[in-house]
Amino acid sequence: MAGRRAGSAARREASAETRSARHGAVPETRAARREAAKDRPTAGDGVRSLASVFRALADETRLHMLALLRATPELCVCDLAAVLDLTHSKASRHLRYLAVRGLVTESRRRTWAYYRWNTDATDDAAAALRAVRPILLDERFAALQNRLRARLASRAKDDAACAPAPGGSRTSRSGAASAMGRVRGRQS
């Protein structure tokens, strides 16, 4: 029995040595791993910030949103959601992603969030916006801009406030609760 244990311990040691030889020396303690991590080259904050901006621009939906915001001074989330056939929550999530990266700014009026092209962007975001500005005004986005114009014209004609995106609900939380009360009342 003791011989088997000694043999398995020797195999584990040999296996650890083989791994060390294959992958370089592996630090055994947390402190040693932390020290080794200090020596590794890492991306600076500036590079991370720039990479974050490029990740924001890498999504087709967010590019469409930027194109619409470039053509119009300010848009409500519901307008963007309606033009791009998105749910309100998905449009809000994409816009929040752009806002966190400094590409757009947000202002709130009552329950509605309005977004605009960020003219006071940080260096990385401003450079990226300058680079994509001519592309976003290109003919490829003309159909979207026409849909937006039609949406804004119909809203102005109806003198309507923001309307929900397709499939959305215009009922407030308290309205939904009272509607549920009416439904429950019918069931009784």
Q: CATH no. for residue 114?
A: 1.10.10.10
The pLDDT score that the predictor gives to residue 170 is 40
Structural domain harbouring 50: 46-156
**The model scores a pTM over 0.85:** no
What is residue 158's predicted lDDT score, i.e. its pLDDT? 74
Amino acid at 119: T
What average pLDDT score do residues 48-65 get? Answer: 90
Domain annotation covers residue 174: no
Please give the residue that has the higher pLDDT: either 54 or 2.
54
Residue 135 lies in a domain: yes
Give the residue with greater pLDDT, 72 vs 175.
72
Q: What is the mean pLDDT of the chain?
A: 74
For 106, phi then psi, to 5°, come to -120, 140
Question: What's the pLDDT at 168?
Answer: 43
Place of tokens 């910030």: 49
Q: Is residue 170 part of a domain?
A: no
- Domain total in the chain: 1
**Is the pLDDT at 126 greater than 90, yes or no?**
no
Q: With bands split at pLDDT 50, 70 and 90, how would you rate the model's confidence at 161?
A: low
12 inside domain: no
C-beta separation of 51 from 57 below 8 A: no
